[in-house]
Structure 1
Amino acid sequence: MRPTVDALLRRWHRMLGLSRQSPPSWYRDRLREELQERRTAKTSLRKFSETSDVIFSISRARYDGFPVRTLPPFVASRDALLYTYMLAKYTLRWKFYRTAAILCNAPCDKVREVINPRKDHKLDEVASRYQIDPVEFRRVGRQLRRVWPLLP
């Protein structure tokens, strides 16, 4: 089952097309942050969501060529829902930013982000990275957040 999961994740990361980060320690730092957030999560849903973030961090680092850890063995009965949630969560965020770019008349094919868009300062960060008018991008992002399904 692991080769199938690995192939799916490689294909998905290729579709997301996220930029490789520098320095390579960025990947270890992100994983450390996600593990800390998982440890401090209070509710079952929050722990589940944070676990998906940990899996995402590990798989992204592996895909980008900076393996920080190995993924735990995939057990369908235990992990199928978690992986489905992770794929949906990050794909929805990726599509959110691409849609916002389209609505701002920016070249959406260049916008490739998965950071949580629930906060305005995150929208500003993305607008700055892609030279999109931040006021317009924030306005569009706020409107989109009202209707866009974003998972916690």
Structure 2
Amino acid sequence: MQRCLDAVLKRWHKTLGLSLQSPPSWYRDRLREELRERRSARTFLERLSETSDVYFSIIRARYDGFPIRNLPPFNFSRHSSVYAYMVAKYSLRWGFYRVTALLCRAPCRYSIREVVNPAKDSKLKEVASRHEVDQDKFIRIGRTLRRVWPLLP
């Protein structure tokens, strides 16, 4: 089961096509931040969301070539909800940015591959800036799309 899960996650990560981060310490720093947020989570949904962020940080580092930690051995009853939530959460974010770029008619729309939380205009602005897209248009379309796009916290 573990090998099958690993193959699926590797293919999913490749589909997301996220850019490598520099310096390599970025991955460790990100994991530390996610672990802090996980410890402060209070409700079931917050813990699930933050746990999925921790798993995503570990998986991303591993598939980007900077393994920082191993995931616990897969136990269906314990981990299936975390993996399902993680894949849904980050796939929805990735799709959100792709559709926003498409609706903006951004010249680089096929190269926009982002998974940062688009719930705030500041994140939309960062992504637009990173890809040299008209920020005002990207934010305006992103705001409209947020009303109908299913995003997980």
Aligned ranges 1:77-96 → 2 under 5 Å: 77-96=77-96
Q: CA RMSD in A?
A: 0.6
Q: Structure 1, residues 59-98: CA drift from partner, whole Å, max 9, x if none?
A: 0000000001001111112111210110000000000000
Work out the CA distance in 1 between the residues paired with 2:5 and 2:72: 12
Code of the aligned partner of 1:89: K
Question: 2:149 and 2:110 mapped to 1: Cα distance?
Answer: 19
Runs of 4 or more, structure 1, over 3 Å off, are none
CA deviation after TM superposition for structure 1 residue 108, in Å: 2.1
Taking the aligned partners of 1:79 and 1:117, their CA distance within structure 2 comes to: 26
- Following the alignment from structure 1 to structure 2, what is the Cα–Cα distance between the partners of residues 2 and 59? 13
State TM-score, norm by structure 2: 0.98
Q: Which runs of 5+ in 2 are unaligned?
A: none
Q: How many residues align?
A: 152
Q: Say which SS state the counterpart of residue 83 (structure 1) adopts.
A: helix
What are the equivalent positions in structure 2 for 1:1-152 lying under 5 Å apart?
Answer: 1-106=1-106, 107-152=108-153
Q: C-alpha distance in 1, partners of 2:38/2:82?
A: 14
In the alignment, residue 18 of structure 1 is paired with which amino acid? L
Question: Percent identity at matched positions?
Answer: 66
The alignment partner of 2:147 has SS state of helix
One-letter identity of the residue aligned with 2:72: P
In 1, distance between residues paired with 2:94 and 2:119? 13
Question: Which letter maps to 2:137?
Answer: E
